Amino acid sequence: MSEQIIRRTGRMVDAQSAMPCVVAAGVYVLLIALAPRLLSDPDTYSHIALGRWILEHHAVPTTDPFSATLRGTHWVAFEWLSQTVFAMAYATAGWTGVVALAAAAIAAAFGLLTRFLLREWQPNAVLIAVLCAVLLTAPHILARPHILALPVMVGWIATLIRAVDTRRSPPWLLLPLMTLWANLHGSFTFGLAMIAPIACDALWRAPHAERLSVVRQWTFFALLAFGAACLNPYGPEAILVTFRTIALGGALTTITEWRSQDFTHIGGFEIVMLAAFGFALYRGVTLPLLRIVMLLGVLHLSLSQVRHADLLGMLAPIFLARPLAEQFATIAANRMETTLRAAWPPVATVLLLIAVTGLASLRNDIAPPTRITPADAIHTIDTTKIGPILNDYDFGGYLDFVGIAPFIDGRSELYGQSYILRYDRALSLQNLPDFLRLLDEYRIQSTLLAPSTPAVGLLDRLPEWKRVYADDIAVVHSRR
């Protein structure tokens, strides 16, 4: 009987050791199946264009290289490493390479999350948490720099939280991860900010006699993390980009991903949030004070901006893992069964990913959607003879990609609050006289706008403008 138990335990250990790789492979296959969905954001065009610029010039830009109105203005490509990697993926394997890179990053993030949770919870509880994370993250799974930074964020936060749970000092070997994060995406400032509440949690849990040592360890780690974050082409200025973005204020509401959650119809975010609240009320969940602060912090961010829902999905389970395991024995992992020892799952996963990517390369539908790709409309504009083009916001990325200077694109921190708000109010005809002034002030010779834009109807009626092209994607007007 004892031999049967040992064999059964061994099989359970092998199954659990394979689970992170199985989850990662499953996420990757799903995303490859939904490949065009990952290319539905116009900023993907801009990021690849900037990556190509960096590769061609063997340098990172310090001034805007693209805009028709602000070219030469001081600007930092704070996501330069991600943009370079995406450009290399596109040069190597086209849009399939871009999708495969993004899918691999998100799969790695979910694999890391699964591995961390298995140390604390039973597999069933882990799968439920991962499924909720997928639902919350799904709207923001796009081929953009934040995706490449997602596994770095999970690794950073999970490692620090585990250091607190096991009452260890923060690991110094984690610091290179911050340097990588600071060159991939601007969200590294969130990782720096999270050191404070995590350190306070460590201090709160430490015995009175050890608190001075804890303060020294975490303070020193925070200083080193700040220094590691400054190891980028722009130094400390990269940190200021976050504050410039926050300073946009009301202009952020004109961009869909920066708007607050919409509860006019039920969606995945609301389902997960209500289910979590219901579970907490039904089971009487209690959390340590600092974990409540962390949880409410990411909940606030995810409610205030749609784009931050992935923070709640990926980080909330990490914050809750040890407290829930200590409170509910039914979901707590058996420490003897969570040793991850099998060697074959990573190899099998890599082979599967290669096979799936090879099959994906045979598809002919992996490309950005036509709604952000006004290729036919662009062909009607002689860019060598006309002046600046007033473009729709969603067309700015494509103009960057094809080498045409846009009036505006997705780099909101470059254009600033006044510029963005004026543009939005002018094209929506909230300020009709200012729309006419804008056309003259910037010497606009052509417009490239979506058919639903209110300004299109006005241009049709202005005698000095004529419609030269129109389809379901874009309408082109030219000054007579």
Cβ burial of 231 (10 Å; 0-12, 13-18, 19+) is middle
Pair 377, 474 in one domain: yes
The span from the CA of 132 to the CA of 136, in Å, is 6
Both 118 and 257 in one domain: the answer is: yes
Average pLDDT, the chain: 90
- Contact between residue 75 and residue 414 where contact means Cβ atoms under 8 Å apart: yes
Residues 294, 148 share a domain: yes
Q: Which of 359, 378, 399 is the C-terminal boundary of a domain?
A: 359
pLDDT-derived band at 338, boundaries 50, 70, 90: very low
Same domain, 188 and 211: yes
Task: Assess contact for 191 and 157: CB atoms under 8 A.
Answer: yes
Domain check: are 314 and 343 in the same one? yes
Domain boundary among 299, 327, 359: 359
Q: Alpha-carbon Rg of the chain, whole angstroms?
A: 25
Q: Does 54 fall in a domain? A: no
Are 300 and 430 members of one domain? no
Domains identified in the chain, total number: 2
Long-range contacts, 291-300 (Cβ 8 Å, 24+): 291/201, 291/319, 291/320, 291/323, 293/197, 294/194, 294/197, 294/198, 294/201, 294/319, 295/319, 295/320, 297/197, 299/273
Q: What is the mean pLDDT of residues 206-229?
A: 95
Q: What is the pLDDT of residues 265-309, one digit of tens each?
A: 888 899 999 999 999 999 999 999 999 999 999 999 999 999 999
- The one-letter amino acid code at 266 reads I
Which helix (DSSP H) or strand (DSSP E) does residue 449 occupy?
Answer: strand 446-449
Provide the pLDDT for residue 361: 63
Domain enclosing residue 206, as ranges:
2-33+76-359
Asked whether residue 69 is domain-assigned, the answer is no
What number is the average pLDDT over the span 31-46? 94
Q: What is the pLDDT of residue 352?
A: 66
Per-residue pLDDT tens for 68-114?
999 989 999 999 999 999 999 999 999 999 999 999 999 999 999 99
Q: Could you read off the pLDDT of 355-388 as tens digits, one per residue?
A: 766 666 667 788 999 999 999 999 888 766 667 8
Please indicate, yes or no, if residue 40 is contained in any of the structural domains. no
Single pTM value for the model: 0.91
Residue 168 included in any domain: yes
In the predicted model, is pLDDT for residue 337 greater than 70? no
How is 37-77 classified by DSSP, letter by letter? GGG--THHHHHHHHHHHHHHHTS--SB-SS-TTTTTSB---
- Judgement on whether residues 127 and 105 belong to the same structural domain of the protein: yes
Residue 6 in this model has a pLDDT that exceeds 60: no
Of the three residues 359, 379, 400, the one that is the final residue of a domain is: 359
| Residue 234 forms part of a structural domain | yes
Same domain for 200 and 136? yes
116 and 141 together in one domain: yes
How are strands ordered across the β-sheet holding 465-470? 389-391, 446-449, 475-479, 465-470
The answer, yes or no, to whether residue 342 has pLDDT greater than 70, is no
Whether 398 and 344 share a structural domain: no
Q: Tell the residue number behind the tokens 């039920």, with chain if given.
A: 266
Q: Indicate if the pLDDT at residue 396 is higher than 70.
A: yes
Residue 71 maps to a domain: no
Burial class (CB in 10 A: 0-12, 13-18, 19+), 201: buried
Residue 312 lies in a domain: yes
Give the per-residue pLDDT at 339. 45
Q: Residue with structure tokens 């992935």?
A: 310
Please name the residues in contact with 4: beta carbons below 8 A apart, sequence gap of 6 or more: none
The tokens 């969200």 sit on which residue?
187
Do 84 and 6 share a structural domain? yes
CA angle (89, 91, 96) in 5-degree steps: 55
Dihedral angle of Cα 226, 231, 237, 242, to the nearest 10 degrees: -60
User: How far apart (Å, rounded) are the C-alpha atoms in residues 108 and 398?
Assistant: 29
Q: What is the pLDDT of residues 459-474, one digit of tens each?
A: 999 999 999 999 999 9
Residues 442, 304: Cα–Cα separation, whole Å: 34
Which percentage of the chain shows pLDDT scores above 90?
Answer: 77
Considering the domain architecture, whether residues 352 and 404 belong to the same structural domain is answered as: no
Please indicate, yes or no, if residue 41 is contained in any of the structural domains. Answer: no
Residue 196 to residue 205: CA distance in whole angstroms: 14
